[in-house]
């Protein structure tokens, strides 16, 4: 072999070797990045069942080791829907077999004054079926849940600036309370029902006005039915006065319609005393910290949804 050929062969061999090493290095980096991305996820949160009524279920979401600073998403279907799966096959909690007809809620931790910005190990309660539409909360299924029904839930933590979204939690099942109360007089209905069955202009649709009164007193202030509708259509957005007013309006409408008030009477009186002369938005600019109203709001919610009192109307 001539010296020229040997030199050329040696040069090409070195070039090829360098190219091969470079390709291997690039491939190794890509594999490392893929593995890194797979590892660099938010910790998977946990979910548990809280208090249930005939029309709602509290879901307790607890952040993992990374927290959930950007919030989380929650999905749910009935157990029957989940069992059928997308192809009529028993489902499991992964993207391939989870039914495509699920309901979903997004709870952003990035919204102003959001309560969904969770630190490591911190928890927050989401009331599915009777949502508190405060800052950061939105859902594709805002309506009440079905009584006497088992639901399947799963959740994941939203991505942050440095970490990808978490894996889904294992599925968790929770149930609403058994149906009861019937459709006869004396049962209760939720604030969502009264909002959609009020005076003309209270909500979209062709529902009849089922309100037994055309005004109510909240605290010491009298509101006409149109003002009450406006309150019911105003998101709480971190204002405990609004969320309390929603349930107080519903409780008083239930009593006016003939529901036994015994279970709710102490909470109605306490709510009126707490509100006093504050004017509820959008009629006014009254404000109460949610920490001051949460126990009364829960008491009235339980009455309206049938956990206490005569029971929710079927």
**Can you read off the two tokens belonging to residue 128?**
């599915």
Q: How high is the pLDDT of residue 21? A: 52
The 10s digit of each residue's pLDDT in 80-112 is: 888 876 655 544 445 446 777 789 999 999 988
- pTM of the predicted model, to two decimals? 0.65
C-alpha–C-alpha distance, residues 242 and 235, integer Å: 7
Q: At the top level of CATH, which class does the domain 46-175 belong to?
A: mainly beta
Q: How high is the pLDDT of residue 7? A: 52
Calculate ∠ Cα 38-42-46, nearest 5°: 120
Contacts with 181 (C-beta within 8 Å, 6 or more apart), sequence order: 54, 187, 188, 306, 310, 311, 312, 313, 314
Largest CA distance in the chain: 110
Q: How is the chain split into domains, by residue range?
A: 1-39, 46-175, 191-305
Q: How high is the pLDDT of residue 34? A: 39
**Can you read off the two tokens belonging to residue 26?**
């690039």
* Cα atoms found within 13 Å of the Cα of residue 9, Cβ hemisphere only: 6
The 10s digit of each residue's pLDDT in 228-280 is: 999 998 888 778 999 999 999 999 999 999 999 999 999 999 999 999 999 99
Higher per-residue pLDDT: 147 or 171: 171
Q: How high is the pLDDT of residue 296? A: 95
Higher per-residue pLDDT: 190 or 143: 190
Higher per-residue pLDDT: 23 or 32: 23
C-alpha–C-alpha distance, residues 219 and 136, integer Å: 29
Q: How high is the pLDDT of residue 70? A: 96
Q: How far is CA 131 from CA 1, 248, 269, in A?
A: 84, 15, 24
Q: Beta 221-224 vs 215-218: how paired, if at all?
A: antiparallel
Q: How high is the pLDDT of residue 108? A: 94
Query: Does the pLDDT value for residue 35 go beyond 60?
Result: no
Mean pLDDT of 218-226: 97
């Amino acid at each position: 072999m001539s010296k020229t050929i040997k030199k050329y062969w040696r040069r090409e061999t070195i070039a090829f070797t360098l190219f091969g090493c470079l390709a291997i290095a690039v491939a190794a980096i890509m594999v490392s990045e893929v593995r890194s991305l797979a590892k660099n996820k938010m910790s998977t949160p946990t979910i548990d069942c809280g208090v249930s009524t005939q029309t709602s279920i509290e879901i307790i979401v607890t952040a993992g080791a990374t927290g959930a600073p950007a919030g989380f998403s929650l999905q749910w279907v009935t157990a029957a829907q989940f069992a059928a799966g997308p192809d009529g096959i028993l489902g499991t909690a992964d993207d391939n077999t989870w039914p495509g007809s699920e309901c979903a809620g997004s709870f952003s931790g990035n919204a102003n004054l959001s309560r969904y910005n969770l630190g490591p190990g911190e928890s927050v309660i989401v009331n599915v079926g009777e949502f508190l539409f405060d800052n950061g909360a939105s859902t594709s299924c805002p309506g009440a849940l079905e009584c006497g029904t088992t639901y399947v839930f799963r959740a994941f933590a939203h991505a942050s600036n440095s970490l990808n979204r978490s894996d889904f939690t294992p599925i968790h099942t929770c149930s609403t309370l058994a149906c009861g109360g019937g459709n006869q007089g004396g049962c209760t209905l939720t604030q969502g029902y009264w909002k959609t069955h009020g005076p003309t202009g209270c909500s979209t649709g062709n529902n009849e006005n089922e309100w037994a009164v055309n005004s109510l007193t909240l605290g010491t202030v009298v509101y006409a039915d149109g003002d009450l509708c406006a309150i019911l259509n105003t998101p709480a957005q971190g204002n405990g006065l609004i969320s309390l007013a929603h349930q107080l309006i519903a409780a008083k409408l239930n009593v006016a319609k003939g529901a036994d008030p015994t279970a709710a009477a102490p909470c109605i009186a306490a709510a009126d005393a707490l509100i006093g002369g504050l004017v509820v938005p959008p009629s006014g600019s009254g404000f109460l910290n949610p920490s001051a109203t949460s126990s009364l709001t829960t008491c009235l919610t339980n009455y309206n949804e049938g956990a206490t009192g005569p029971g929710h109307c079927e």
